[in-house]
């Protein structure tokens, strides 16, 4: 049975975080010694600058560790004195983390020994024969210790991240710089998204509606020049059919440009219409107690629409699931299919979706391992 994509992501994140905590536990010993002897060295004026410089080196190691393993980005423009002040509580937290890892290791060794004793029919600790309740008691007690150990690691990781944010958190100028960079990027992505939509509409009109109208004109011209009434009637019948197909293509293009149901009825009916028009069965679930802003509704709809279109064209899927729900102050839309997988965020229409979502200050991800399933997720602010 394949592991769900969300579970794989959670396991990868947990393993990466555990490795980051283990590295932090090892560096804490060096930091504790440095804080101890560095504090004594600060009493000598000539050693103050080298001590502060060394504290900054150790603090940079911790800052980069948090960024790599926990995704915590902090500013680099902190002072050397602030770095020294950071190492004092950081060494304590790191040593606490090391103690938790040591207890986990001792608990694992004890669990192996106790399990071997129970298998041999002895009670935990050896000696007397095991009673019926010994395995049950041991299992419950072991589960409790595992739970407490995991909670301890999570608590240490939270403290570690908050401490770094307290000492290295971005300054006001750094936050303004980042926001300006985000707005500049968003503006460029808006322009690119608009140009991409214009090119797509032009392509749909040129390859679809325009070709139909050319064929219609040729049929009408042949009917006008025909001398045989029956032949002229047949040409007119073909011209009528071609006009119907041109009208259908024009409706399809206008629907993809902007569905009128989105304005008049809202996101749920528009997604229901999308599901009905799909050539692959679509399971729709919408959990929005109130309508999001019109701009957010538009982005959510086009993320779902383009994802369904890509699935039908490339994924060879037999089922598509669309979920749109409120997540606090955000709207989350997730499109899942059971196709062949291998989709990339940088390829085809998905790159345009990423730019459209980024332009709305949202977050866009694609998880599509070879063999599937493919999960397209967009999270958009809804304030």
- Residue 253 banded pLDDT, cuts 50, 70, 90: low
Residue range 49-73: mean pLDDT, rounded = 89
How many percent of the chain have pLDDT more than 90? 18
Residue range 203-209: mean pLDDT, rounded = 70
Instruction: Note the pLDDT of residue 197.
Output: 64
How many percent of the chain have pLDDT more than 70? 85
Does domain 264-381 fall under CATH 1.10.645.10? My reply is no
Q: pLDDT by residue (tens digit) across 139-149?
A: 898 889 889 98
The residue that leads in pLDDT, 224 or 184, is 224
Residue 2 has pLDDT above 60, yes or no: no
The alpha-helical segments, DSSP class H, found in 205-293 are 210-225, 229-257, 260-264, 267-277
Q: Where are the domains of the chain?
A: 5-170, 175-257, 264-381
- Residue 341 banded pLDDT, cuts 50, 70, 90: confident
Cβ–Cβ < 8 Å for 261, 276: no
- What backbone phi and psi angles, to 5 degrees, belong to 329? -95, 15
Q: Token pair of 168, please?
A: 């290295």
Q: Which residues pair with 366 in a beta bridge?
A: 376
Give the residue from 95, 96, 97, 99 showing the smallest Cα distance to 33. Answer: 95
pTM for this model (two decimals):
0.51
- Residue 281 banded pLDDT, cuts 50, 70, 90: confident
Instruction: Note the pLDDT of residue 289.
Output: 79
Cβ–Cβ < 8 Å for 187, 124: no
Q: Token pair of 130, please?
A: 């095991």
Q: Token pair of 23, please?
A: 């590295």
């Amino acid at each position: 049975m394949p592991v769900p994509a969300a579970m794989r992501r959670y396991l990868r994140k947990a393993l990466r975080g555990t490795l980051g905590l283990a590295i932090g536990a090892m560096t804490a010993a060096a930091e504790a010694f440095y804080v101890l002897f560095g504090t004594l060295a600060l009493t000598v004026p000539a050693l103050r600058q080298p001590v502060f410089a060394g504290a900054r080196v150790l603090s940079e190691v911790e800052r980069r560790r948090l960024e790599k393993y926990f995704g915590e980005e902090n500013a680099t423009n902190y002072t050397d004195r602030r770095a020294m002040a950071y190492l004092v509580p950081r060494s304590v937290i790191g040593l606490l983390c090391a103690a938790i890892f040591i207890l986990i290791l001792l608990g694992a060794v004890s669990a192996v020994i106790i399990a071997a004793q129970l298998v041999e029919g002895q009670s935990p600790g050896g000696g007397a024969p095991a009673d019926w309740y010994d395995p049950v008691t041991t299992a419950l007690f072991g589960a409790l210790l595992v739970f407490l150990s995991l909670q301890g690691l999570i608590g240490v990781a939270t403290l570690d991240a908050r401490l770094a944010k307290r000492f290295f958190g971005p300054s006001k100028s750094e936050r303004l710089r980042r926001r300006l960079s985000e707005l500049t990027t968003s503006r460029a992505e808006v322009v690119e998204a608009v140009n991409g939509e214009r090119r797509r509409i032009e392509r749909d009109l040129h390859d679809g509606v325009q070709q139909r109208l050319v064929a219609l004109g040729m049929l009408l011209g042949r009917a006008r020049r025909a001398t045989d009434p029956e032949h002229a009637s047949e040409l007119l019948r073909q011209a009528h059919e071609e006009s119907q197909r041109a009208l259908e293509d024009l409706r399809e293009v206008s629907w993809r440009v902007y569905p009128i149901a989105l304005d008049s009825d809202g996101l749920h009916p528009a997604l229901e219409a999308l599901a009905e028009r799909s050539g692959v069965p679509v399971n729709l679930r919408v959990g929005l107690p109130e309508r999001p802003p019109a701009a957010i509704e538009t982005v959510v709809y086009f993320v779902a629409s383009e994802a369904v279109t890509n699935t039908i064209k490339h994924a060879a899927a037999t089922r598509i699931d669309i979920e749109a729900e409120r997540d606090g102050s955000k709207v989350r839309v997730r499109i899942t299919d059971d196709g062949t997988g291998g989709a990339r965020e940088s390829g085809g229409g998905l790159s345009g979706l990423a730019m459209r979502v980024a332009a709305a200050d949202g977050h866009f991800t694609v998880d599509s391992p070879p063999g599937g399933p493919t999960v397209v997720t967009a999270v958009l602010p809804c304030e």
